[in-house]
Structure 1
């Protein structure tokens, strides 16, 4: 595989694929336990890739450089986009699980990559996107393709000091105006995954992949 990763196989034959992209300064192990939480019956194959970038003075791994929140650095963003595209393609081939039986999820910077790959004009659409505390990026040479039709789950905290809640609200408005099916949640949380949002996310994962298990 092109990126390092961790994974948790399903209990039996996988009914789908859940790919979780970590946030800034974390690694491939960070969200693996979230996969267990979102898929308690172990119906899905869960994979957590490591971002490709290290930055001097910063711990962990990064998907791109942040000159300004909401506006990723062009070159590092597109490099991560290419590497993650290759990773997803290899994963679909290796597992035999199709994009339409896949959910992309992520926290913070990982949500940005989930939006980017899930709505990229040159990429296959997944069944769903889980975006915890993230945003749809503004970056040259990439635009969200609103003809894509993944189901989208957005959860964000109103007290988030890193990515303010307006990013989530604008993403919701853009996607709803484009005709996508969006489930939107806010709470008084800061920059973390609010446990209060998790039950709805578990339901979203189950509903999104219902009826897709025979799609090969």
Structure 2
């Protein structure tokens, strides 16, 4: 019997994509896998309730609340040092855990990792994937849906299409190798909230499909 792929999910908010992953692991769409934990960086993230409902261990680890950065800090150098320290501490926490993951899924994780997190995780062969509500090379970073909608209303959006993607995480924001994409056409007369609802519905499907592909690759590499 193939070894189980251990998945760690990281989220900041409602956790609807986390729920989609839970459901897909449960019904076998993400095969031979187990979600072994959740990390959140916002204290009121509803994702923690979802974890509790499914007996999944969760932990809150925050840049400010865990003492890496004073809330009022504005000095750019000290902010950079704080983020580096936080990244290194979070990587160490994951790597020192009793059940080290094979795959980390960023599912609505609102924080940009730097090399102090990515390098040690990558060095241990742990894959990190991220869901982003835009197509490759378009609308990197925050507010991607809003920016695409603004361009649509201004007549600047090519073919009236935006989309979503799941990609491997590298230091360059939303520029890692693409795993899967899905185009989504914006309709004339559609409100921003309607577009967001359609995009989120598609996100739930795409993150599951992409995770399943990556898990398949992980199982294949373990069997070699």
TM-score (norm 2): 0.48
Q: Work out which of the two has the higher radius of gyration on C-alpha atoms and give 1 or 2.
A: 2
Structure richer in helix, relative to its length? 2
TM-score (norm 1): 0.49
